[in-house]
Structure 1
Amino acid sequence: MRVAITGGSGFVGRHLAERLDPAETVIVSRRTGVEIDDVDALAAAFEGCDAVAHCAGINREIGEQTFQRVHVEGTRAVVEAAQRAGVKRIVMLSFLRARPGTGSAYHETKWAAEELIRSSGLDHTILKSGMIYGPGDHMIDHVTKAVRTWPVFGTVGYTEKKVRPIPVHDAVGVLLAALDGRIPDPTVAVMGAEELELGAAVRRIAGVAGRRPLYVPLPVWAIKALAQLTEWVMVTPLVAKAQARMLAEGVNESAPFAPEPPAGIRPSSLFTEDLIRAALPAGRFGLQDLRLARR
């Protein structure tokens, strides 16, 4: 089976590509010279492919890379290009709580993208995925660097929200099953096997990183303000505004409801110290992480 991966240079896309036959895999990204809303370039890339894994997405807006352009116009272009190229199947990686009427551009554009896939007429699977972690992620990477850099760590809100972290190898396993047509439902919720409070997840990561910071609960508005500040000043923000909204809601159940994949396909790995350790980055935050230092 020949597969094209949009966002193939990104976190999940890279890990998916590693599990596929390189001779039968087409990486589609800005790094390979293809813009996500360029229908002609996408159609040329999709030529001869049996399926498209649509993993392209952003968690913050930078210049022309807006949620509307990447999530909505990009998905519209992917659908048209797939139809032109004769692709039979699309698998889209979405977000667990993508839905309309939230006031969050991230959530709403991800939902709009889902709707474009549903109305495409193409065989499809939409994976409403929760928090994915692994080597090269943002979750463990940023928590680890933060606790290595500062003695105080702010947690979200005074009421603990819950998460179900998914190791990237489990998430890729679900993607592969969807590409193979082994998931009967057109939309499924992809969540980790272990549910725990966000603070407990952070403490587990910090413990593996050898740190014991002082944890301070912060109101949601403070986390959102921190997100705005770090989007302004950091190359990759400590926390993006969309991520602050996710954490404030919790990331442990789909909205709207979607069933989980069948047993044997759904993620089964716990949030273990070994898996966390495998994803730990080197170093801490420094001047190299500031936008000013890159100019």
Structure 2
Amino acid sequence: MRIAITGGTGFVGRHLAARLDPAQTVVISRRTGVEIDDPDALAAAFAGCDVVVHAAGINRQIGDQTFERVHVRGTRAVVEAARRAGVARIIMVSFLRARPDCGSPYHETKWAAEEIIRESGIAHTILKASMIYGPGDHMVDHVTRAVRSWPVFGTVGLGGRMVRPIPVDDFVEVILAAAEGRIDAPTVAVMGAEELPLEEAVRRVAAVAGKKPLFVPLPVWAIRVLAQVTEWTMKVPLVAKAQARMLGEGVSEPLPWAPEPPEGVRPRHPFSEDSIRAALPEEGAFGWHDLRVAGCFARVFRKARNGGRQSRTFGALGAS
């Protein structure tokens, strides 16, 4: 079975690609030179593929990479390209609580993408996933680096919010089951084996990271302010606005309702010490290099340095 993966260099995409035969896998992303809303390029990439795993997505908007472009126009292009290439099945990675008319552009555009897949006429499975974690994620990674950076950790609006984290390897197993036709329902809710309060999940990560920060409860609106500030200032935000919305709601129940996958296909590993340790980042803490302004300074420095080299070169040529 030949599989194409959109968003193939992203978090879920690269873990899926690592499980597949490289000779039977097509990795598609901006890094491989294919724009998600280019149906011609996508159709060429999908040629000879039996299944497309549509994992391309963003959790914040930067420049022309908007939710509308990536989630909506991108999914339309994926469907058109899949039709042209004769793809038999599309597997879409969505979010557990993606839905219309909820005031969140992330949730609404993910839902719009789901609807495009449902109306495509192509056999499909939509995986509405809760929090997925593993090496290189935005959950364990950011919590770990945060507790390594600061002695105080704000449990912003976490009280009572429940989560069901999914190890990325378990989620890859669900994708493969869908690709092989072992999930009958066209839309399923994929949730981790263990449900726990979000605050407890954060405490477990901190404990495995060897830290005991002071946990301070803060109001829900504070996480929204934090999200906006870190989107402005950080290359990868400590928390994005879409993630702030997720945390504020909790991530343990699908909305709208969707069935879970069959018993033998569901994620089976709890949010344990071993699974958390496997996801811990190698880097120690947040630093100046995580700030967007640091990247600007670095670019200015490189241009100045290169300009100086050019000036010296032109001077040498003139002297000769």
Shared fold (TM-score, shorter chain, > 0.5): yes
Partners in 2 of 1:198 and 1:214 — Cα distance?
16
Displacement of 1:157: 1.7
SS in 1 for 2:15: helix
Count how many residue pairs are aligned between Structure 1 and Structure 2. 295
Identify the residue that residue 34 of structure 1 maps to in structure 2: 34
In the alignment, does 2:81 pair up with 1:81? yes
Superposed CA offset, 1:63-104 (max 9, x none): 000000000000000000000111010000000000011100
Matched residue type, 2:37 = D
Identify the residue that residue 292 of structure 2 maps to in structure 1: 291
SS in 1 for 2:17: helix
SS in 2 for 1:284: coil
Identify the residue that residue 164 of structure 1 maps to in structure 2: 164
Identify the residue that residue 127 of structure 1 maps to in structure 2: 127
Partners in 1 of 2:215 and 2:203 — Cα distance?
9
Identify the residue that residue 239 of structure 2 maps to in structure 1: 239
Displacement of 1:209: 0.2
Identify the residue that residue 100 of structure 2 maps to in structure 1: 100
Matched residue type, 1:168 = V
Matched residue type, 1:58 = I
In the alignment, does 2:50 pair up with 1:50? yes
Note the residue ranges of structure 2 that are not aligned, 5 or more in a row: 297-320
In the alignment, does 2:229 pair up with 1:221? no
Identify the residue that residue 272 of structure 1 maps to in structure 2: 272
Q: Is residue 72–residue 113 contact of structure 2 (8 Å, CA) maintained in 1?
A: yes
Matched residue type, 1:74 = G
Partners in 2 of 1:272 and 1:245 — Cα distance?
25
Matched residue type, 1:255 = L
Displacement of 1:268: 0.6
SS in 2 for 1:12: helix
Displacement of 1:159: 3.3
TM-score, normalization: structure 2?
A: 0.91
Moved more, 148-157 or 60-69: 148-157
Q: Is residue 154–residue 218 contact of structure 2 (8 Å, CA) maintained in 1?
A: yes
Q: Which is richer in helix?
A: 2
Superposed CA offset, 1:26-65 (max 9, x none): 0000000000000100000000000100000000000000
Q: How does 1:256-267 map to 2 (within 5 A)?
A: 256-267=256-267
Q: Is residue 159–residue 199 contact of structure 2 (8 Å, CA) maintained in 1?
A: no
Displacement of 1:211: 0.5
Displacement of 1:148: 0.3
Partners in 1 of 2:55 and 2:111 — Cα distance?
14
Displacement of 1:156: 2.6
Partners in 2 of 1:12 and 1:161 — Cα distance?
24
Superposed CA offset, 1:173-199 (max 9, x none): 000000011001000000000000000
Superposed CA offset, 1:227-264 (max 9, x none): 00000000000000000000000000100000100011
Partners in 1 of 2:218 and 2:40 — Cα distance?
47
Partners in 2 of 1:158 and 1:271 — Cα distance?
17
Identity of aligned residues (%): 74
Partners in 2 of 1:88 and 1:141 — Cα distance?
36
Partners in 1 of 2:161 and 2:120 — Cα distance?
35
Displacement of 1:158: 6.4
Q: Is residue 158–residue 247 contact of structure 2 (8 Å, CA) maintained in 1?
A: no
Q: Which portions of structure 1, spanning 4 or more consecutive aligned residues, are displaced by more than 3 angstroms?
A: none
Closer, same or farther: CA 158–280 of 1 in aligned 2, 3 Å = closer
Superposed CA offset, 1:106-162 (max 9, x none): 000000000000000000000000000000101000000000000111113263200
Matched residue type, 1:98 = A
SS in 1 for 2:103: coil
Partners in 2 of 1:7 and 1:31 — Cα distance?
9
Q: How does 1:117-196 map to 2 (within 5 A)?
A: 117-157=117-157, 159-196=159-196
Measured on the aligned residues, the alpha-carbon RMSD in Å equals: 0.7
SS in 2 for 1:44: helix
Q: Is residue 158–residue 199 contact of structure 2 (8 Å, CA) maintained in 1?
A: no
